[in-house]
Amino acid sequence: MGRRGRRRKRSWEPETAVIETLDRKGRGVVPAGEDGRPRQAFVHATLPGERVHFQRRDREGPSDVAGVLEVLESSPLRVEPRCAHYGVCGGCSLMHLDPDEQVALKQRWLASDFEGHGLAPERWLEPLRAEPWAYRRRARLGAKWVAGKDKVVVGFREQDKRFIANLEGCEVLAGRHGGALIPKLSELIAGLSLATKIPQVEVSVADDTDGAVTALVFRVLEPPTDEDRERLRAFAAAEGLRVFLQSKGLDTVALFADERGQTEGEGFEDARELSYALPEFELDLRFRPTDFVQVNAAINRSMIARAVELLALEPEHRVLDLFCGLGNFSLALARRAGAVFGVEGDAGLVARAAANAERNGLSNARFEVRDLYTQVGELEWLGGQPVDRVLLDPPRSGALAIVEHIDRIAWAGKPRLVYVACSPETLARDAAVLVGTHGYRLSAAGVMDMFPHTAHVESIALFERD
C-alpha cells in the first residue's frame, strides 16, 4: 500500500488525572473539560477516585481509549490481579477490583437502568455468587502463527485490539486442564501442517458422570494431512480430550477423536454429545460442543433454583418457557410443575430439549420451534389453554416483542413471570413495558455473577399482576 493509503499512527503525550467513575465496560472515565481536555478518555484497569498517569492510544467515537502507565494514588478497593496477562488480555476487565465490589457495582448498574425508566424493584434479591476462579466452561480462543514470536499465539483478543493475546495460561478457564490447556494448544498447532490454517479453537467443558470432559472444536481452513490427524489423535488420547473439527459452518462440526484417542468403534458415537448435571432436580442434560449453554456451571445451578423459587410452582401448574434452548430451565420446571411448554427459535436446540426430556423420563414437557421475534403476534400460546407461570430467558437483545404481546397469554390466575436477562439495559426497557403498559409490578430483582472479573451483568426479575 502506498504512503498516501496508510493511516498515520497518532501519538499522544502522557497525562495525569483522577478517575471519576467506571463505564459499562469497567474502564475508568476521565471526563472531557477537566484541565482543558477536549475529549473524554476511558482508562483500562483503573478505579474511581484513583489518581493515575495514563496515555491515550486510540479513538472510540467521541472519546479516546487509554492505558494506565502508573497508579499514583490507589483506591482501597483495588486488589492485585491474579492473572499475569491482565491488562493485555481482553478476557477480563475487573480483576483489579475487589470481588465483593464487582458484584455491588453490577447491582448498582442494574438499579441505574431501572431508574432510567422510572422503576425500582419492591425487593432486591441477594446476589448469586460462586467461586470466581476456573469457572468458565465455554470459551472461544483465537489462534495465529506469529513469525516474530516464532510460535502459535493462542488466547482471547487483546484489549481494544484485533490481535490475539499471547497467553501462557488463564485463571478463569474451567475443567481438568484449566488455563494450562493454552500452551499445550499452542505447541500442538505449531506442530501441524495446518499451523497457519487454524484461526480458532472453541473450548467446551462438560461434567459427565465419570468426571469433567473437555471438548475442543478446531476451525480448520484446510483438510488435515494424515500426519496431522495422527498428531491430533495422539493429543486427544494423551490429554483425555475430545477433538472435533469444523471445516465451514456449524453444520460441518464433526467428532474426530474421543478422549481415548479413538476415531471409531464402540462408544465413539456417544462422544458426539457432552452433558451437564442439575443434581437438585436429578437431571442430566446433553448438548453439543457448539450449543449455547450457560458459561458458569455453579451459577447456572443456583439461577435455576432461584427461578423455580420465584415462580412458586405448584404440582398442577402449567408453565410457558420462552427462549427455552436445550431445556436448561424447562426440565427443572417440569420436575416441579404439571406441564411445561418450551418455545425456541433454533430447531437444533428444540430437538435437544425434546431428547433431554425423554432421556430424563419427563413426559410433561413439550417443545416447539417458533421465531420469538417475528411470529409472536400470530401465536396462540398452548392453543389458548390457561397458563399459570411464564419464564423468559432471551438473548442480549431482550424480549420486547414478547412483552408487547404478553396479554395474548391466557392466565389461569394472577400472572407471575420471571425474566432472566443477560443485558440489564434490555431488561429495564422490557420491564417498563410490562409495568407501564400492562400493569405488572416489578416485585423483585437482583444480579447473578455469571462472569466474575468482567463487566457482564446477568440478572433476574420477578413480575406480578394483581
pLDDT digits over 307-329, tens only? 999 999 999 999 999 999 999 99
Range of the domain at 219: 138-263
258 with 315, same domain: the answer is no
pLDDT above 60 (res 4): no
pLDDT above 80 (res 300): yes
Average pLDDT over residues 374-393: 80
| Residue 115 backbone phi and psi in degrees, to 5 | -60, -35
Give pLDDT, residue 7: 47
pLDDT above 50 (res 6): no
* Last-in-domain residue among 248, 263, 278: 263
Give pLDDT, residue 279: 96
314 with 449, same domain: the answer is yes
Give pLDDT, residue 385: 79
Confirm whether residue 292 is marked as ligand binding.
no
Lowest-confidence pick of 8-17, 18-27, 345-354: 8-17
Confirm whether residue 323 is marked as ligand binding.
yes
Rg of the chain in Å (alpha carbons): 24
Yes or no: say if 185 and 239 are a contact pair by the CB < 8 Å rule: no
Yes or no: say if 52 and 43 are a contact pair by the CB < 8 Å rule: yes
167 with 209, same domain: the answer is yes
311 with 421, same domain: the answer is yes
Average pLDDT over residues 269-286: 96
372 with 318, same domain: the answer is yes
Give pLDDT, residue 380: 64
Residue 430 and residue 382: Cα distance in Å, rounded? 23
Q: In this structure, what C-alpha cell is assigned to residue 60?
A: 472510540
Domain of residue 222, CATH code: 2.40.50.1070
Does residue 271 lie within any of the structural domains? no
Non-local (6+) Cβ contacts of 104 within 8 A are: none
Question: Quick one: pLDDT band at residue 161, thresholds 50, 70, 90?
Answer: confident
Average pLDDT for the chain: 94
212 with 258, same domain: the answer is yes
Yes or no: say if 422 and 448 are a contact pair by the CB < 8 Å rule: no
CA 143, 458, 417, 282 dihedral sign is: positive
351 with 214, same domain: the answer is no
Yes or no: say if 461 and 310 are a contact pair by the CB < 8 Å rule: no
329 with 433, same domain: the answer is yes
Give pLDDT, residue 382: 60
Residue type, 363: S
Average pLDDT over residues 421-436: 98
Distances (CA, A) of 72 to 207, 214, 356: 45, 43, 55
**Better pLDDT: 148 or 120:** 120
Domain of residue 357, CATH code: 3.40.50.150
Confirm whether residue 23 is marked as ligand binding.
no
22 with 143, same domain: the answer is no
Give pLDDT, residue 1: 41
pLDDT above 50 (res 443): yes
Does residue 268 lie within any of the structural domains? no
121 with 146, same domain: the answer is no
Confirm whether residue 156 is marked as ligand binding.
no
432 with 299, same domain: the answer is yes
Does residue 94 lie within any of the structural domains? no
pLDDT above 90 (res 64): yes
- Count structural domains, the chain: 3
Yes or no: say if 393 and 420 are a contact pair by the CB < 8 Å rule: yes
Domain of residue 21, CATH code: 2.40.50.140
Of 107, 97, 156, 111, whose CA–CA distance to 129 is shortest?
107
Residue 64 and residue 39: Cα distance in Å, rounded? 7
pLDDT above 50 (res 255): yes
Yes or no: say if 392 and 418 are a contact pair by the CB < 8 Å rule: yes
125 with 195, same domain: the answer is no
Does residue 197 lie within any of the structural domains? yes
Does residue 274 lie within any of the structural domains? no
pLDDT above 60 (res 18): yes
Give pLDDT, residue 9: 55
Question: Quick one: pLDDT band at residue 381, thresholds 50, 70, 90?
Answer: low
What amino acid positions are annotated as catalytic residues?
Answer: 422
Residue 142 and residue 332: Cα distance in Å, rounded? 35
